[in-house]
Structure 1
Amino acid sequence: MNLSEAIVDITAAFRDRYFWTALGWQDIRTRYRRSSLGPLWITISTAVTVAAMGPLYGALFARSPGEFIPHLALGLIFWAFMSGSINEFCDAFSGSAHYLKQVKLPLTIFVLRVIYRQFIILGHNILIYPVVMVLLGKSVNLNIFWAIPGLLLVSVNLLWIGLVVAIFCTRYRDMHPVVGSVMSLMFFITPIVWQVDQLPPGRAHLADLNPLTILLELMRQPILGGVPAPMYWAVAAIAAVAGSVFAVALLARFRHRVAYWL
């Protein structure tokens, strides 16, 4: 195990940010070639989902539109960012085999490529929320600035998750649908279309056992006007440190084998 090589891999990837940003942008252009609206189709789809589910589920849960629809809209937007990243990490290396088989490149570049691609989509999808604010007469306060460190902390966690998932799914190709199934299940047990205070008394803490709930709330609560609980920051920070250590160790152990698994 050569930890220094793994650390060099990660630092070199950040130094070559032009490469993975160019790759991520090219992915978007290729995916939506000959499309008039490009990734805005995803934004339109998300907006339609919010418009359809918001009034319906708000009525089912006896929640006012001004309370429930912003919660749902931001939940769907940030969930698409996290789940889209995790699902696409499965193909981060195998989808870039033509690069990895010919040129020696830092593996972290292809994980950052996925995250950057999802950031572009997030940038389009977040445009939905100002429309929701205008229609519902909502406002923001200074707590919205907590969303910046929240998004950074989420990104760090996504980076180490991406390295782990990419290595694992490259070695075991049939794990891609497993990851997809797990993320589909996590959608229903994460407070996106429901709210934590709807759980029976004494059961609200169960939602916090889901790590994706914590990551989601670090981004959503500041925009809704709140401040995430200190426990959320602590858990996300500990996960970022512990996960990063694990990911570096895994990268050091298997980085030389990835090209042979492709």
Structure 2
Amino acid sequence: MNFSEALVDITAAFRERYFWIALGWQDIRTRYRRSALGPLWITISTAVTVAAMGPLYGALFDRSPGEFIPHLALGLIFWSFIAGSINEFCDAFSGSAHYLKQVKLPLTVFVLRVIYRQFIILGHNILIYPVVMILLGKSLNANLLLLLPGLLLVSFNLLWVGLVVAIFCTRYRDMQPVVSSVMALMFFITPIVWQVDQLPAHRAHLAHLNPLTILLELMRQPILGVAPPAIYWGVALAAAVAGSILTIALLARFRHRVTYWL
């Protein structure tokens, strides 16, 4: 296996960032062409979901609106970013076959294209939260500064996950519905609608065994004014390092075969 070629693939993709930025932006424009509101339709849909579920589930769980609705709103917003990225990684290479078959480009470009596209949608969806803050009288504090390193760490983890998922879904086309089904299941076992402190004390640790819980909380807790626990940062960083090593090995072995699988 040629590990240097795998590293060159990744570093070259970051040097050619203009390419995946242009592709990601074009994807958004194409998807919402002739739409009056564009990606704001997703924002409106998320806002309606929060408005409908917030009071209902808050009452069911006996939680005050000021506590539960911000938790739910940010949970749905960041879950959409994580789950949307992972689901779209399945089609990252096969959906770009016309590029890969004609031009020699780093494979990482097409994974970064998906992440950038999801960041644009996240930027639209996060506009919901200032409205929630105003309506519920919430405020921010200095812990908000932890959002940037949290986003960077989550994005780094999504990058290696994206390369792994994209390679396997290109080789095994049956993987795409499997990934979608797994992500649908993970929605229910990740604290998006519910909160960890609702679990019995002897089972609360089970929620933290879910890696998506950690990624979600690294982004949600700073906005809620809470500093994520050190264990979250440690686990996410360890996952990023271990996942990157696995991905480099996988990329070194299979990067030349991807085009033939398309």
TM bin (shorter chain)? over 0.9
> Distance in 2 between the 1:240 and 1:81 partners?
18
Instruction: After TM superposition, give the deviation of residue 244 of structure 1 in Å.
Output: 0.5
Instruction: After TM superposition, give the deviation of residue 201 of structure 1 in Å.
Output: 1.8
> Distance in 1 between the 2:247 and 2:201 partners?
38
Q: Which string of whole-angstrom CA distances, capped at 9 and with x for unpartnered residues, describes residues 26-46 of structure 1?
A: 000000000000000000000
> Distance in 1 between the 2:49 and 2:226 partners?
25
Amino acid of the structure 2 residue aligned with 1:119: F
SS of 2:256 mapped into structure 1:
coil
> Distance in 2 between the 1:109 and 1:248 partners?
15
Question: RMSD between aligned alpha carbons?
Answer: 0.3
> Distance in 1 between the 2:99 and 2:112 partners?
15
Instruction: After TM superposition, give the deviation of residue 203 of structure 1 in Å.
Output: 1.1
Q: Give the corresponding residue for 2:74.
A: 74
Q: Give the corresponding residue for 1:231.
A: 231
Q: Give the corresponding residue for 1:161.
A: 161
Q: Give the corresponding residue for 2:190.
A: 190
Q: Which string of whole-angstrom CA distances, capped at 9 and with x for unpartnered residues, describes residues 4-51 of structure 1?
A: 000000000000000000000000000000000000000000000000
Q: Give the corresponding residue for 1:27.
A: 27
> Distance in 1 between the 2:218 and 2:175 partners?
29
Instruction: After TM superposition, give the deviation of residue 202 of structure 1 in Å.
Output: 1.5
SS of 1:140 mapped into structure 2:
coil
Q: Give the corresponding residue for 2:84.
A: 84
- 1:200-239 pair list within 5 angstroms: 200-239=200-239
Amino acid of the structure 1 residue aligned with 2:78: F
TM-score (ref. length: structure 1): 1.00
Q: Report sequence identity in percent.
A: 85
Q: Which string of whole-angstrom CA distances, capped at 9 and with x for unpartnered residues, describes residues 49-85 of structure 1?
A: 0000000000000000000000000000000000000
Q: Which string of whole-angstrom CA distances, capped at 9 and with x for unpartnered residues, describes residues 81-106 of structure 1?
A: 00000000000000000000011100
> Distance in 1 between the 2:102 and 2:148 partners?
38
Greater mean alpha carbon deviation, residues 113-122 or residues 196-205: 196-205
Amino acid of the structure 2 residue aligned with 1:179: V
> Distance in 2 between the 1:31 and 1:120 partners?
13
**Aligned structure 1 segments of 4 or more residues deviating by more than 2 angstroms:** none
TM-score (ref. length: structure 2): 1.00
SS of 1:173 mapped into structure 2:
coil
> Distance in 1 between the 2:90 and 2:100 partners?
15
Identify unmatched segments of 5+ residues in structure 1: none
> Distance in 2 between the 1:247 and 1:49 partners?
36
- 1:78-157 pair list within 5 angstroms: 78-157=78-157
SS of 1:215 mapped into structure 2:
helix
> Distance in 2 between the 1:87 and 1:201 partners?
33
> Distance in 1 between the 2:167 and 2:8 partners?
17
> Distance in 2 between the 1:257 and 1:125 partners?
37
- 1:164-179 pair list within 5 angstroms: 164-179=164-179
Aligned residue pair count:
262
> Distance in 2 between the 1:226 and 1:103 partners?
47
> Distance in 2 between the 1:36 and 1:121 partners?
16
> Distance in 1 between the 2:214 and 2:11 partners?
27
> Distance in 2 between the 1:123 and 1:10 partners?
25
Q: Which string of whole-angstrom CA distances, capped at 9 and with x for unpartnered residues, describes residues 106-135 of structure 1?
A: 000000000000000000000000000000
Amino acid of the structure 2 residue aligned with 1:11: T
SS of 2:174 mapped into structure 1:
helix
Amino acid of the structure 2 residue aligned with 1:10: I
